[in-house]
């Protein structure tokens, strides 16, 4: 009996020791996990901490895969977009010459005919010229040699000198002088040397679409009404053909030429009106940026800088803005009054002011600019 009690006591003591050991091991394991967690959290914060981090930076980081996909899709589909612009524009011009121009020559007065011919062909020439120059003109790239530039930074992506107002294009994989954005409809970057061509193309294309929409409004209403009548008559003709007897004949159908004419007029008006709304909004936005003397990229940079200085009680002033009127003169390259005709209203391949590497006072400015920062 005593031997059994001793054996049972020994087993109980052994179980208690095992429980103590397992509890110690469990506490030790939990302590190690906590230490690893705190160490990993500290390492993560030390690697990712940045005093300039805000909501915009976090969103940019989250959307980085989307940006990568868009960049690669835009790079490969740029040729398709250019072909689409050329195809749609050519279709509109063909419809105007084949369908609308004969009606204008038959029904309008000689004064209106001269005005339509003059304005229409002038607008078309300006669109074709500026689009061709925008897609074929290089936006400008900084030189690779470091000794050619002074007071510049280094691009962290291409490890090359980056002058002021220069930014790296992830689609072209190069730095672009005074980069505004990469336009897939041009398959080219919009920068220092082709910014004027891009804006002029948007402006004259919007004017041309508005001109076609206003001029073709009455024709569009008549063509739309004719198409509705076609549908009704086609429905009646099918009913008559299904129920006709030997003394009944079906209604005469519309010819293919009539159908093509009316549908072409509707297509012309819908396309021009849609493009006028979309491209007109883009043109107005770029006009506001030009008035401010900044690009699309600089707008975001200047806004952040303005907010940062506002907290310190200072006022930010754009160092590349010369005033609304002078900003337009610098952008369009107007140095003397006659340039409004020869360089703005007529096709002109003149170069913009400056080289894009340095930004000196333009010739049209007679007073010095305001300082960058003011208390």
Could you list the active site residues?
183
Strand partners, 162: 153
193: phi then psi, degrees, rounded to nearest 5: -90, -15
> Residue 260: CB partners within 8 Å, gap ≥ 6?
none
Q: What is the DSSP letter of 144?
A: S
DSSP SS3 for 254: coil
Q: How far is CA 55 from CA 59, 138, 214, in A?
A: 6, 35, 45
Taking the C-alpha atoms of 173, 175, 181 and 183 in order, what is their torsion angle to the nearest 10 degrees? -50
Q: Give the whole-angstrom CA distance, residue 230 versus residue 57.
A: 57
Which one, of 182, 96, 173, 108, lies nearest residue 139 by Cα? 182
Which residue spans within the chain are E strands per DSSP? 153-154, 161-162, 167-169, 174-176, 181-183, 188-190, 315-316, 373-374
Q: Is 276 left (phi over 0), alpha (psi -120 to 50) or beta?
A: alpha
| Rg from Cα positions in the chain | 35
Which one, of 264, 273, 127, 271, lies nearest residue 214 by Cα? 273
Instruction: Scan for tokens 């699309």, then name that residue.
Output: 296
């Amino acid at each position: 009996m005593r031997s059994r009690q001793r054996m049972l006591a020994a087993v109980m003591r052994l179980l208690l020791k095992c429980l103590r050991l397992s509890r110690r091991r469990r506490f030790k394991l939990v302590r190690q996990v906590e230490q690893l967690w705190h160490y990993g959290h500290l390492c993560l914060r030390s690697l990712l901490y940045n005093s300039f981090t805000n909501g915009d930076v976090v969103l940019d980081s989250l959307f980085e895969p989307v940006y990568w996909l868009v960049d690669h899709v835009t790079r490969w589909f740029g040729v398709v977009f250019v072909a689409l612009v050329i195809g749609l524009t050519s279709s509109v011009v063909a419809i105007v010459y084949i369908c609308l121009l004969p009606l204008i020559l038959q029904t309008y007065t000689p004064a209106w005919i001269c005005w339509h011919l003059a304005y229409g062909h002038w607008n078309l020439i300006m669109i074709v010229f500026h689009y061709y120059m925008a897609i074929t003109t290089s936006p400008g790239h900084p030189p690779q040699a470091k000794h050619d530039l002074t007071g510049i930074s280094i691009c962290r992506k291409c490890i090359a000198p980056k002058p002021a107002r220069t930014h790296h294009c992830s689609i072209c994989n190069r730095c672009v002088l005074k980069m505004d954005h990469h336009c897939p409809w041009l398959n080219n970057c919009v920068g220092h040397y082709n910014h004027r061509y891009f804006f002029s193309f948007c402006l004259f294309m919007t004017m041309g679409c508005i001109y076609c929409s206003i001029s073709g409004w009455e024709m569009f209403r008549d063509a739309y009404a004719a198409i509705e009548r076609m549908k009704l008559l086609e429905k009646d003709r099918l009913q008559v053909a299904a129920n006709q007897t030997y003394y009944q004949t079906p209604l005469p159908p519309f010819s293919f030429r009539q159908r093509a004419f009316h549908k072409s007029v509707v297509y012309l008006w819908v396309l021009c009106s849609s493009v006028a709304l979309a491209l007109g909004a883009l043109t107005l936005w770029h006009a506001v940026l030009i008035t401010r003397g900044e690009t699309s990229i600089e707008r975001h940079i200047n806004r952040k800088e303005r907010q940062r200085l506002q907290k310190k009680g200072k006022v930010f002033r754009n160092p590349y803005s010369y005033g609304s009127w002078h900003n337009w003169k610098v952008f369009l390259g107007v140095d003397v009054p006659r340039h409004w005709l020869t360089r703005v209203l007529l096709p002109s391949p003149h170069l913009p002011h400056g080289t894009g590497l340095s930004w000196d006072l333009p010739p049209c400015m007679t007073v010095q600019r305001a300082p960058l920062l003011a208390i």
